[in-house]
Structure 1
Amino acid sequence: MKFFKTAVALGALPLLAACASNWDVEGAKMAQNNGSAFQKGLQSEYARLAGLERDEGDWADARLFVGKALAATQGNVEPQVIADRSLPEDKVGELSAAREKLMAAYAAGGKEASPAAAARAQAGFDCWMQEQEENFQPDDIEACKKYFMAGLNDMTAKPMAKPAMAPMEDIIVYFDFNSTALNDEAKALLVKASMMGRGAKAVMVNGHTDTKGSAAYNEALALSRAQAVSEFLQGHGVAGNAIRVGANGESINAVTTGDEVEESRNRRVVVSFK
């Protein structure tokens, strides 16, 4: 396996245990962990990965995963960011989308609801990143990817812990001025909406704008926002034939304003369920 790693990935991990060397898999596995079930799951998963890399002679990745196992005894550890690895250009999009789904599931309460599955998903993602960077063992790449997907599916199959809204209550996501892009907060809410939508007979997706700009332009912008939400929901398991997309432009405001007024609370898409 590979004999170098990015300085960012290695340098970001603190030295957490004097009793365990950089490659002490057993020490990382047995280190005391008084944290959450998710932290304990991460410790176990990363120690397992460290052992696999050590046994293959990949000392850099063994060191990386030992460090992450030890870090998990002190707090939650994030999955690797895309920039930490020198990935093939044609794989960056797929891995970026996978990490986005993982982080959205976390934001929706996945760590608390399904800690073991969440830990498997994160370890599988980091394993996938590592194998994809090396890019010469297709079976290992596929195995790590499947491990990630299984953990993610198990995590999102259960209702997320402490949902922000009661089931079947409207979910509202907001947009930047003149934008149809979904920010991280919107994506986290729409993950919840997708779970609710799978059990609904119909999902109503209605777009809105503030009063800045012409009525015709704002109607088109509102429709584009609603379509962006619809595509996200379909990508997260809601049947396309259950979604009803509509646009109200600037005609129905959450906050009453005059014409030509920028108002962030009016730039929204409302998702409701029947």
Structure 2
Amino acid sequence: MASQSTLPGPALQASKNALSQALAENQAKEAENGGTNPEPGEIQEVDMQAQADNIRTVFSDAKNFNVKTPSTFAPAGQGWMEDIKRVISFDSVEEFWGLYNNIIPPSSLPQKANYYLFKDNIMPAWEDEANKNGGKWSIQLPKDKNRLGVDKMWLYTMLAAIGETFDPTLTSSDPDATPQSLITGVIVSTRPSFYRISIWTRVAPSGAADDEKLRERIEAIGKNFKTSVLGYPESAKLSGPLATEVEFMSHKDSEKKGKQAKKIIV
């Protein structure tokens, strides 16, 4: 007897979509590897159940999945963006936990993998209209010392982004202050020797005198990230082998090399 899925509706639909896409891809691969193409009007017999039994999505097997869910972020021809797969969108706490409880944590991801959590209709790319004038706060942590803590850090980072608690300005008691959230998304990356957690913002200080208030607001986000989300004392020095401080850099400066790039460090 088949067990009833405990996934929320959107996650279940994403899993079904992934299964359909994988079946189509497998049929294409069989054709490339010597399978016969049907004549016009001929129906080709395919053992759908046998193929389905070999397909495991991240929702059905969080540790041994072999199929990614369909891509909705990357149009053809965008290079690395083609590797980004949209897992699911959610608009409720229940849907978030349904997703979170059914995917593998960062500590178990393979090398060179990333999780992206961005606001709807914003691509995790510098070129996106919402990101092109912004920057990112980030911290890099050695893998061997942070394997047990990175999952909690990433969870708290996501919750702060969803709850919009990164930016102290948004929780101001001033009824006339209704600024737009500066946060567009958050990312966790796994690399052979380290983890990196990043927070992307819509804008970045330019260094001009009239940017002082924006710089203060950006710095407040970084301090909140360091102390309330990651749990480090504000005075803690974190840089070392494979490690960085909590650092901010505009996307435009990130493209520069050497001393030309400017950082804000908290």
Q: Which has the higher helix share?
A: 1
Same fold (TM over 0.5): no
TM-score w.r.t. the length of structure 2 is 0.31
